[in-house]
Structure 1
Amino acid sequence: MLDIKIVNGLIVDGTGAKGFRADVGITGDRITEIGDLSGVEAKETLDVKGQVVCPGFVDGHTHSDMSLLYNHLSSSRIYDGVTTEVIGNCGIGVAPIRDEKKAELIKYLGTRLIGAIPVKLELPWNTMEEYLETVEKASPAVNVVPLVAQGAVRINEMGFEKGHPSPEQLARMRAEVKKAMEAGCAGISSGLMYMPGEYSDVEELAALSQEVAPYDSFYVSHIRSEGDYIFEALDEAIAIAEKGGTALHVSHLKLAGANVWGRAQEVFDKFDAAKAKGLDLTFDLYPYAKACTSLGSCMPPWTFEGGTDNMLERVKVPENQKRIIQEIKEGIPGWQNPIKTAGDWSRLVIATCYTEEGKWMLGRSIAELSQEVSKDPFTFVFDTLIQERGRVQVLCAVMDQHDIDTFISHPEAMIISDSMSLSTEGILSAGNPHPRAFGTHGYVLADYVRKRGVLTLEDAVRKMTMLPARRMRLVERGVLQKGWFADITIFDPETIQDMATYTNPKQYTRGISTVLVNGQFAMRDGKQTEMTSGRVLRKKVK
């Protein structure tokens, strides 16, 4: 007897094949039958007439490393149909970290992974193994795939020291990467627009990537520039992967800034050339035209030397402020500055703040805010960074919709959210986050599929299930197939709708009726349950 029988649905299996009518049978945590199950008994039968039955969405790029510990229900994920998320992206991670370096990492993570969340950040672990054990004990609602973050590895060894690691330091960093891979990480990530990744070069990153190569894994990167220097940044990423002997995955691909809009085909040409030489290269993107980043990342790299506290002290000094303004206006070769990329202060909007005093700024542009307080926009930025201790996130309108449509239509494009799991209630409801934290997958199905027809239903599902699952080397997930794990999302293709907007982002997607994670109901009848059946999907070491 089946535990669950799903009948009368349109099966969109994740492979890109045309949808077909069939029933799905589940026993325990597995799909045990697909076909005509009218004569098969089940403990529970779900009639989903008019709805799509597909694999649970795999969000291949998230920053929920801490938020899933603060609220293991991962509500914004479940309501958006996500059953698996990948953490440790952009080189931003919470382990490995030895005790003497924790203070530096904690202050930095306050500007990146925590932002407006009203918590005292603590890291009661040292290794990736210990962190993953903590996640398992938290019993998350979704499956979790870990990456080891190069930024954490470097902070653990060098803090925010500028320059090259010594041979001894590099050897210890390589050993930490290997330990993380032995603990089950899926790959290594870097964020070369952020500290301390900005201080790392090809040789260092290739050496660390060599430690993941034996595990059939990959190097995933938030490349050094997505704007004026994107082609140089892609060359660097390709060189790192080639020298590291591993696959390359480019995070949240975009053309940021009017100077590079319309050049998507040149990006594809560069990818094709690298693949023709044998490189295993893939990419993902989110479906929105606005990015989100730390206001601190708008400061030149030299300001962060020694850590976040040093940056905050440096921006107080008038002479430093003059230098920063000049470098932002004139640019630094190879450095992508979000302020210059946006091109106008009205295109930079405060998303999250840390203090009560800062809440009046949420959802408003720097142009509007600085004018209201009669300050030059640069002075306003310096003062805000100091007041909020660097814990400020900004939305940046830097992309062109035509480029996004071009990228997302590529056969191998994967769709991700680049966000942390949040909630409409409790501590994870703070701030005015990017709507992608609540509505990414609903937005794709409502806008790119139903409204504008940029993607077919089957292709959109493939980009949100099989493709990311395959890149992460997930075993028996990402496709509805007999014998595979029962991670399943069921939705009405005519009514599914993201509700999250830039002005009111904390709204759950509507139109998803059912979400199963490992055969258990995380959502039923459109409401999240208390079931938390997610698992840490550790990569098996051969």
Structure 2
Amino acid sequence: MAERIDERAERVVEADGRVVCPGFIDLHSHVDLTLPDYPRVDGMIRQGVTTLVTGNCGLSPYPGSMDLAGFAAVLGGVPLAVHVAPLVGHGAIREAAMADPSGTPSEGEMTRMVELVETAMTQGAHGLSTGLIYDPGRFAGTAELVALARVVAAHGGFYASHVRDEGDGLVEAIAEAIAIGRTAGLPVQLSHHKAKRRRNWGRVAATLGMVDRARADGLDVMLDCYPYTASSTGLWAYAPNWWRPGDEVARERVQAGLEERFPGCTGRDGARTDLSDLVLSGLTGVGRLQRYEGMWLDEAAREENVSPADLVIDLLSTAEHVQVIDHAMSEADVWRVLAHPECAVGSDARLIHPDMPGVPHPRNFGTFPRVLGRLPLEEAVRKCTGLPARRMGWCDRGLLRPGAVADLLLFDPDAIGDRATFEEPRRYATGIDLVVVGGEVVIDGSDDTGAAAGRVLLRTGCG
């Protein structure tokens, strides 16, 4: 018999007509890049997220200028509103271990990468992430990834992958991720699963079938997805694979490389290419080109009287950073993926405060309420709580029961919803009355209490 608790509550909340559920666990975020400056994680906590998994897509602040222990110490010194569960990024590992991260690792560099993964896992990383469309992850071969994943497997972690291609090569990219998990012997998390470009719409039927078959064969494969038909990333992801930031390359060579990837983009006749799906959402250090922030890339190129390819070259040659929103997915595909029983919700959020510069993706402010408004309530809550907790190996989070961590939400099921749009992305969600993190109230109605209730959650067993 459970022990009766007779302590009187300091506060009693009338929850009649409301839903009480665990706090949402975001399996895929990039807020580790902004947390030190924006520790309240406003856009996320106000949509009910109480735990954020960071270090995704091969990107993490460690190793490099600090290790994971150092990063945890930094976050321990700021008023965190939410819990943070870190992965270690393969791209960061490559940058720290290799003289030329765009090359093939030497035996010594491979040994160093293994050591760095071992250190991160020993310090509490939950797994290894890859970003195989990004520099320098895209230069890694499968054998390298298997070798590093084996280190993660030995520590009970998982492999999360932004796969090598989400468009024409999607099926082959998913096959590679599954093969890495099977060969290395560890669970696989397919990040922000999607099929990009109209010619590939519908191919998620094949990739979800691959997930089902792998699971039937005994491999623990899960996926995550955000409920939008546009992605967002840096413009460098669209550059020729051999061109890296800082490289002095002849314009004609880059033009040819872009034309090979996006036929028609070097013309000025307005021909539609895959670059036509891009909106310039965040421009830093671009001088006079700053005025094009928020515009479609094609539209900006016409105003500049240059080809889309030339505008891409001008931006990448001068900018500190260029973020784009890529309107490339099908609504039917997005909801087919989200409906899969092994698909959890992941926001891919980074710009999580209204004051941050740029034109953020609405997912930074509306992901979780948007899912709750479009899937059956019980299933939507499971995809935001218990399912991601299972991926993380947590027995005391993502559910309501005696002894579980008190990460809790109180919301009105008739009022909860997303207000953020691509035109007005900085709008907070509605309908959430109370957010409790680790037993402390963080959001009370429309107010942030300022409670520093968040903790860095390092990997432990489930026993």
TM-score, length basis structure 2: 0.93
2:268 match: none
Q: Partner of 1:510 in structure 2?
A: 430
For residues 278 and 227 of structure 2, the distance between their equivalents in structure 1, rounded to whole angstroms, comes to 18
SS in 2 for 1:297: helix
Deviations 1:70-119 (A, max 9, x none): 1211111111110000110000111111xxxxxxxxxxxxxxxxxxxxxx
Compute the displacement of 1:358 (Å): 4.1
Which of 83, 106, 111 is 2:50 aligned to? 83
Whether contact under 8 Å (2:386, 2:398) holds in the other structure is yes
- For residues 37-90 of structure 1, the C-alpha deviation after alignment (integer angstroms, 9 at most, x for no partner) is 9x9842211112221111101011000112111121111111111000011000
Q: Secondary structure at the match of 2:52?
A: strand
Is the alpha carbon distance of 1:142 and 1:421 closer, same or farther for their aligned partners in structure 2, counting shifts above 3 Å? farther
CA distance in 2, matches of 1:441, 1:522: 18
The secondary structure found in structure 2 opposite 1:73 is: coil
Q: Are the structure 2 counterparts of residues 345 and 264 from structure 1 closer, same or farther at C-alpha, using a change threshold of 3 Å?
A: closer
Match of 1:375 among 296, 306, 318: 306
Q: 8 Å contact 2:48–2:435 — kept in the other structure?
A: yes
Give the length in aligned residue pairs. Answer: 453
Amino acid aligned to 1:67: T
Match of 2:18 in 1: 51
> CA distance change for structure 1 residues 248 and 82 in 2, over 3 Å: closer, same or farther?
same
Q: Where in structure 2 are there 5+ consecutive unaligned residues?
A: 265-271
- By how many angstroms is 1:126 displaced? 2.4
Report 1:342-491 matches (<5 A): 343-355=273-285, 357-389=288-320, 391-420=321-350, 422-425=352-355, 429-446=356-373, 448=374, 455-491=375-411
Of the structure 1 ranges 67-76 and 273-282, higher mean CA displacement relative to structure 2 is found in 273-282
Q: Deviations over 1:339-392 (max 9, x none)?
A: xxx945442101111136444222210111111222211111111222323x00
| Conserved? CA contact 2:79–2:450, under 8 Å | no
Map of 2:210 onto structure 1 = 270
Secondary structure in 2 matching 1:68: coil
User: In the alignment, is the contact (CA less than 8 A) between 1:56 and 1:83 conserved in 2?
Assistant: yes
Answer yes or no: is the 8 Å Cα contact 2:262–2:275 preserved in 1: no
Task: Report the alpha carbon displacement of residue 329 of structure 1 after superposing the two structures with TM.
Answer: 2.9
Secondary structure of 1:259's counterpart equals: helix
Does the CA-based 8 Å contact 1:32-1:482 persist in structure 2? no
- 1:523 paired residue among 433, 440, 443: 443
Q: Deviations over 1:273-312 (max 9, x none)?
A: 22233211111111100011111111011102xxx212xx
Q: Distance between the aligned counterparts of 1:166 and 1:274, measured in 2?
A: 33
% of aligned pairs identical?
Answer: 37
Shift of 1:474: 2.6
Match of 2:77 in 1: 137
8 Å CA contact 1:95–1:152 kept in 2: the answer is yes
Change in Cα spacing, 1:162 to 1:347, as seen in structure 2 (3 Å) is: closer
| 1:339 paired residue number | none
> 1:321 aligned to 249, 254, 258, which one?
254
1:486-501 equivalences under 5 Å are 486-501=406-421
Q: TM-score, normalised by structure 1?
A: 0.80
Name which of structure 1's ranges 214-223 and 131-140 shifts more when overlaid on structure 2.
131-140
- Alpha carbons of structure 1 residues 51 and 421: separation in structure 2 relative to 1, 3 Å: farther
Cα distance in structure 2, aligned partners of 1:257 and 1:160: 32
- 1:235 and 1:497 map into 2 onto residues whose CA distance is 36
- Aligned partner of 2:269 in structure 1 is none
Choose from 240, 246, 250 the match for 2:186: 246
Partner of 1:113: none
The answer for unaligned runs of 5 or more in structure 1 is 1-30, 98-124, 332-341, 449-454
Measure the CA separation in 2 of the matches of 1:538 and 1:287: 28
Q: What's 1:198 paired with?
A: 138
Post-superposition CA distance 1:496-515 (Å, at most 9, x none): 12111101111111111110
State whether residues 363 and 503 of structure 1, in contact with CA within 8 Å, keep that contact through their aligned partners in structure 2: no
- Is structure 2 residue 104 aligned with structure 1 residue 164? yes
The answer to whether the 8 Å contact 2:197/2:274 transfers is: no
For 2:432 and 2:99, the matched residues in 1 are separated by: 44
Name which of structure 1's ranges 173-182 and 375-384 shifts more when overlaid on structure 2. 375-384
Is the CA contact (8 Å cut-off) linking 1:68 and 1:421 kept in structure 2? no
1:281 counterpart residue number: 221
CA shift, 1:163, in A, is: 3.2
Contact 2:59 2:131 in 1 (8 A): yes
In structure 2, distance between residues paired with 1:388 and 1:357: 11
Contact in 2 for aligned 1:75/1:421 (Cα 8 Å)? no
What is the CA RMSD across the aligned residues, in angstroms?
Answer: 2.0
Residue 209 of structure 1 aligns to a residue in which SS?
A: helix
Displacement of 1:159:
4.7
Measure, in 1, the Cα distance between the counterparts of 2:263 and 2:299: 24
Kindly indicate whether the alpha-carbon contact (under 8 Å) linking 2:192 and 2:224 is maintained by their aligned counterparts in 1: yes
Q: 1:309 is matched with which residue: 223, 242, 246?
A: 246
In 1, Cα distance between equivalents of 2:205 and 2:301: 39
For the Cα contact (< 8 Å) 2:255–2:309, is it kept in 1? no
Distance in 2, matches of 1:421 and 1:387, equals 22
Superposed, 1:143-158 pairs within 5 Å as 143-158=83-98
